[in-house]
Structure 1
Amino acid sequence: MPSLKEVRARISSINSTQQITKAMKMVAAAKLRRAQDNITQLRPYAQKLSQMLSTVSAGADTASESPYHQIRTIDRVLLIVITSDRGLCGAFNTNVVKGALTLISEKYAAQARSGNVHIMAIGKKGGEAMQRRGFKVDTSHMDVFGALNFGNVRLAAEAAMESFVSGQYDVVEIVYNEFRNAAMQIVRAEQMLPIVAAEAPKGATAAVNYIFEPSEEEIVTELIPKTLKIQLYKAVLDSNASEHGARMTAMDKATENAGELLKQLRLVYNRTRQAAITTEILEIVGGAEALANG
């Protein structure tokens, strides 16, 4: 049985840890509200932009001729893996890394064996994890979350787009956590490039002949790059909200576990103290009897 001093030291240590986890939960909750507002406001715009691109692509010959639509034999692959810069958020980062590895093993196993699967890391944890597994990782856009804004994400998107158009990569995919709520994040893998035309739903009417103003070429040239940048920005905002939700949930659970552990330690402390008092009483009584009999 541990001594009273040891139990008191453990209780003090767990009390301090519980205060830290409780503070981290409150900070994560405050950040989550802002991050949730950001992704909630962007999603309708991103979805509408994607719908517009699909609609224009269906009725425009210029879209199919865009360099972003070119479907080539897949020899070289770029995965944009979006994680966080910090830990203490449960399985948030682990799930994204597992999702990326699953995608590689299921779709790009041959390219991986040839060393032609490269990673663009957004967030330090994913970049470090993929480096440990032997992948070549582009870390030039790893610190996006240090100053999260569209300008920084746009640079990462433009780098991926340029590498695809130049033929450096034949396909670009994004792996990230989609935000549902504070307790639920779903790992998604979305193909960013080449752009695949959406299939028309069953029973849909024939494509409409649109009148373009300004020209069809100008609209498509402007719309496609903007849609791709917004697609990546939405994934980063999804991941940011998911991170804060996962951290808030993890710290809440850690605070509860610390409380349960404190209850058990206080019970052990009381039992140990009671046993020590009982032992002292027995020693006093024994000493008194010995003196009386002496």
Structure 2
Amino acid sequence: MTHHDETASAVRPLTLSWVNRHLKTDERILTTETLHGGITAEIRKLTIGARDGGTRALVLRTFVNAEHAEDSLHREADALTLLTETAVPAPALIAADPTAAHCEHPSLLMTHLAGRTILDDEGAEARVPLLARQLAAIHALRPTERPRTYTAWTTADTVVTPKGADATTWAAAIDVIRKPPPPYEGRFLHRDFHPGNVLFAARSPSPAPPRITGVVDWATTSWGPTDLDVAHCSTNLALLHGPEWGLRFAEAYEEAGGTLAATAHARRYWQVRDALAFSEEVASVSQPWRKAGRTELTTRAVEERLDAYVTTLMTTPT
């Protein structure tokens, strides 16, 4: 979803000046659109016009009051630089100001990719294999310089058990992540790969199979187990479409050539760890989904789906 601003005045003055310095001499910003869906950053699409009448689009990400903004923008800039030499469809980096030396807030400017996010239940059957194939391709990358090791997003002491959830089941799930993480072979991770960060080609008048046009938000790229990325997308799918979709994504990932942990116990560790991390941020996760049209996904509805998914993980034989 987008909100149209009539002019570039929606961009703060220092940031606007910084953006203009990275345009061609005959270009100017014509309009801006606020792109909804970001949790930690303001995201705007900038339509750039040239004297000859031609236009192009850029995307401006601005981190306002966000922790670790400098680190996130350095990671994203490094990732976008790496991805320019790969087949992974990602934006191209134009400029970055991680320390807000030139802008009001830490910012990053990049090219705009065609396509849209799709969060609807309809068509999930066709999209999930594409998501799995794309994630396997990301994990196949071998960067010359590794990003920093992943950071866990929850601890056993900070998990929030949803109201009405079975206390015994959740206590058992929390005990799973009290143990040290299983050994793993590190891979390049997106770390926040989910349907909200994947763009699909816009619908055509005639029925056509879905096609991924881009993967965005590379601000948390990390080095770690493939299971962690798979678990994160699985949890998102479980909350968007139902618990069974979380399990189906892991299967689709392997069918796409991806490799997961060798044992079921190790796989469950990563699945449970990611699912429990969502317990602390259900409200912030569900809000952009509702703005994107999934109005039925209230905070309470998502809590109930999370409870169902954690229960499924804990009761599935290993």
Q: Which has more strand, going by share of residues? A: 2
Q: Which has more helix, going by share of residues? A: 1
TM-score, reference length from structure 1 = 0.22
TM-score, reference length from structure 2 = 0.20
Highest Rg: 1 or 2? 1
